[in-house]
Structure 1
Amino acid sequence: MRKHLKLISIFLKMELRNKAFLVPSFVFPLLMLTLMSVAGSKDGAREGMTYASFLTPGILCMAYAAVALVAIPVMLSSYREKGLLRSFKTSELSMSSIIFAIIVSQLVFMVLQTVLLLAFAHFVLQAEFNLIPASWMAIPVVLIGLFSLLSFGFSISSFLPTSRSATMVGNLSNLVAIFLGGVFFPTDVWPSFIQPIIWINPLTWIIEALRKSVLYGTMELANMCIELGVLFAIGVVCFFLALKLFKYE
């Protein structure tokens, strides 16, 4: 157990020291939230709330997708090119332990993202959130959704030999997940043949849980049991797919 915790700590420290990783994960979401909040505030409130409040869940989901679908594939491809992953091949840790440690370290990173962005929106941009006791029920939905998203990002990185290909495929996956996840448009505007993709997109349920919890205060975990099962199934399938396809070099 101690070895696993140490490995998680190593991966987390590596990412926190990576300036190229911190820009899309922290700096860009904060800058985008600030600029869009200032521009949108001229149109007044949206659905009875400030524009900064309305924007925050969507910007959070964009930050999550940037980490899981762009940063993770690029990071792993870069580590593979530099031979860093090869050093783990001779360790006593199994491949599943290494993949699990990376996913857990990124979950911790995403929790830091969430706290920072919500605090910035509230204290700097004066965003107001409708938090009630039931809002805490969004936590398992978001965590399982992030696990699914990270596992998917990990699985696609197994197909990408170079950081250049990882950047191209990661950005494309990121755009598809964001546009079909309801970040910019309601999901019902898309044709019926796209709806199954929307339904298995983790971002769809993450942003719904965030909006119901921090904006509207209507979060009910009992009504999302099927979605939780789908998210967990996607995460498990992608995790084992990544495990089967993972390459050290």
Structure 2
Amino acid sequence: MWAITKASIRAMFRSPSAVVFSLAFPLVFILVFGFIGGRSGTVRVGIDAQSDTASIIYRQLASTPKLQLVTNETQAEMEDDLRKGRLTAIVRIQGKDLPQNPPLRYKIFVKSSTATNPDEKATLLGILKTGINAADDVAYPRPSVAEVKEETVPGREYRPIDFILPGQLGFSLLSAAVFGTAFLFFSLRQTLVLKRFFATPIHRMYIILGEALSRLLFQSFGSIVIIGLGYFAFGFTLVNGFVTFLEMLILCLFGLIVFMGFGFVVSGIAKTESTIPPMANIVTLPQFLLAGTFFSVDVFPAWLQPICKIMPLTYLNDALRKIAFEGLHLWNLGPQLLVLTIWGVVVYAVAVKVFRWE
């Protein structure tokens, strides 16, 4: 069994597809979202050259992190960007040439186009209204019918990497387990290696365990690399430090064991090697898209959410996030572990029925 394990580990490290699906693919997404950080969602706004840049309105806009003010383009260039959707709007603040008619001091002209993102336009208008209200409070102090009392409680900063990394970690486990196991056992069966193994005195269970152990060790290495990069490079939250890391690793191995069952099923029912990718994609692709890998399942329509919530990857991703960010322990994850266990029992029952040695 140990000899099979060592040989399989060497084969995986020499396999480009195994390295890509287990390490390179999730690392690319982690790097992208890690570098994006909290800077996503900036609204680009062009400032007309005739605008009163000394006005309090302009200063309010310039001090808003959500806005990126474009002042280094000509009017023609901004008009072209506006038509192509590169700018949300062009703003002109007229103040100096207004007739003396208090209390109106400024007129603000907002020019947008049909290519403008409606959400970005709403964000800009909301920021403008907030800035005008703040300016009104300075210029015309007045009584109010209500007073807002703010209270800020200490909490953890939730970064994009805290959501993305567990999702990518879960998907790397799913894809490596399904594709790796399916291709491996189909190849071993097709080349009659499994038949020769079966003819030796070694118990058939040790053959399966040897291949499974090699996958567990290989994916443990990949999980350590992914979590370590997220923690040291992008500040991924590990609430309880090394204890959280160990619990995530244990949960990853449990999830991998469950997902390997899908690989055994695919390898057992595949008739040719060319049928493995589409069959494996039927298992992995819906979970990649719907199981909370990039965004919460709550953003999907109500009719689609029940489908999302029966997928095993949904519960693995949720459990990883609760351990890493919320500080829960494995014994606090009863519902998630129960669903994963049920999936494991069902899928291995099917795998036993369809598994073939030759």
Same fold (TM over 0.5): yes
Question: Contact (CA 8 Å) 2:323, 2:330: kept in 1 or not?
Answer: no
**Structure-2 separation of matches of 1:100 and 1:129:** 34
Cα separation, partners in 2 of 1:247 and 1:194, compared to 1, 3 Å: farther
Alignment equivalent of 1:128, drawn from 232, 236, 239 = 236
Shift in Å, 1:139? 5.0
User: What are the equivalent positions in structure 2 for 1:45-60 lying under 5 Å apart?
Assistant: 48-60=157-169
Q: Which residue of 1 aligns with 2:189?
A: 80
User: What are the equivalent positions in structure 2 for 1:3-152 lying under 5 Å apart?
Assistant: 4-39=1-36, 41-43=38-40, 48-123=157-232, 125-132=233-240, 135=244, 136-138=246-248, 140-152=250-262
Shift in Å, 1:191? 4.3
Question: Contact (CA 8 Å) 1:54, 1:215: kept in 2 or not?
Answer: no
**Structure-2 separation of matches of 1:242 and 1:72:** 12
Aligned residues: 241
**Structure-2 separation of matches of 1:240 and 1:93:** 23
RMSD after superposition: 2.7
Question: Contact (CA 8 Å) 1:33, 1:55: kept in 2 or not?
Answer: yes
Cα separation, partners in 2 of 1:88 and 1:28, compared to 1, 3 Å: same
Q: Which amino acid aligns with 2:26?
A: P
| Greater relative contact order, per chain length (Cα 8 Å cut-off, separation 6+) | 1
Cα separation, partners in 2 of 1:191 and 1:103, compared to 1, 3 Å: farther
**Structure-2 separation of matches of 1:58 and 1:159:** 28
More displaced 10-residue stretch of structure 1: 113-122 or 222-231: 222-231
Cα separation, partners in 2 of 1:22 and 1:83, compared to 1, 3 Å: farther
Q: TM-score, length-normalised on structure 1?
A: 0.82
Cα separation, partners in 2 of 1:126 and 1:78, compared to 1, 3 Å: same
Deviations 1:166-219 (A, max 9, x none): 111112211112233221342343545762x544432122111211122232x1
Listed as ranges, the gaps of 5+ residues in structure 2 are 42-155
Listed as ranges, the gaps of 5+ residues in structure 1 are none
Question: Contact (CA 8 Å) 1:68, 1:149: kept in 2 or not?
Answer: yes
**Structure-1 separation of matches of 2:258 and 2:317:** 14
Q: In the alignment, does 2:167 pair up with 1:170?
A: no
For the pair shown, which has the larger CA radius of gyration, 1 or 2?
2
Q: Which residue of 2 aligns with 1:230?
A: 339
Q: Which amino acid aligns with 2:238?
A: N
Question: Contact (CA 8 Å) 2:223, 2:249: kept in 1 or not?
Answer: no
**Structure-2 separation of matches of 1:186 and 1:28:** 21
Alignment equivalent of 2:312, drawn from 188, 195, 202 = 202
Q: Which amino acid aligns with 2:7?
A: I
Shift in Å, 1:87? 2.5
Deviations 1:5-29 (A, max 9, x none): 3322232222122223212211222
Q: TM-score, length-normalised on structure 2?
A: 0.59
DSSP 3-state at the match of 1:85:
helix
